[in-house]
Amino acid sequence: MYRDYLNSPTTPADIYPQPRTVPKGETPFRDEYEEYIQAYPGRGTLKVQISVARGAFPMKNVLVDVSQIYNGVRYSLYNDVTDISGIVDNMVLPARSIESTLNYDTAQIPEAEYLVTVFHPDFRELTDCSVIIHDKTETILPVTLVPLTGEDKDG
């Protein structure tokens, strides 16, 4: 799917119609996430910064997918392409509330963990990079891409 997007004339909005930013207190989760939303009432944001050459140059048009595995099913929450600064941001995600970390009864709830996949046809694909989201905090995930060597995987 990632490779098809980069070779087509479509825009990210054509493929992924959900809004990039979600109003405060709302979430892109579907109805089956109601239990998850109640357990994770906080909201944190995620920013992904893509670069090459050990962080020297930002990388434009890299596909970033943020997903989560919940009850054994993988849900893709955000899909977007990096801008000229190599950034995809304003991804609002559920997180443990700050108050729940102070209460012994709810302190045992694990942190909200999401998986980030990054793809560009000229670089090695980064698959399922784990990131933890915290309430009222912007988490920045810097990613440096490694160029493909030109060798074919088949041989």
Q: Topology of 2-144 in CATH?
A: Immunoglobulin-like (2.60.40)
For residue 145, the model assigns a pLDDT of 94
pTM for this entry:
0.73
For residue 76, the model assigns a pLDDT of 83
For residue 60, the model assigns a pLDDT of 93
pLDDT tens per residue across span 67-119: 988 878 788 888 899 999 999 999 999 898 888 777 777 677 788 999 999 99
Checking if the pLDDT of 154 tops 60, the result is no
For residue 40, the model assigns a pLDDT of 84
Q: How would you class 66 by CB atoms within 10 Å of its CB: exposed for 0-12, middle for 13-18, buried for 19 or more?
A: buried
Q: Which of 22-26, 90-94, 144-148 has the lowest mean pLDDT?
A: 22-26
Q: What sign does the dihedral 30-23-98-88 (CA atoms) show?
A: positive
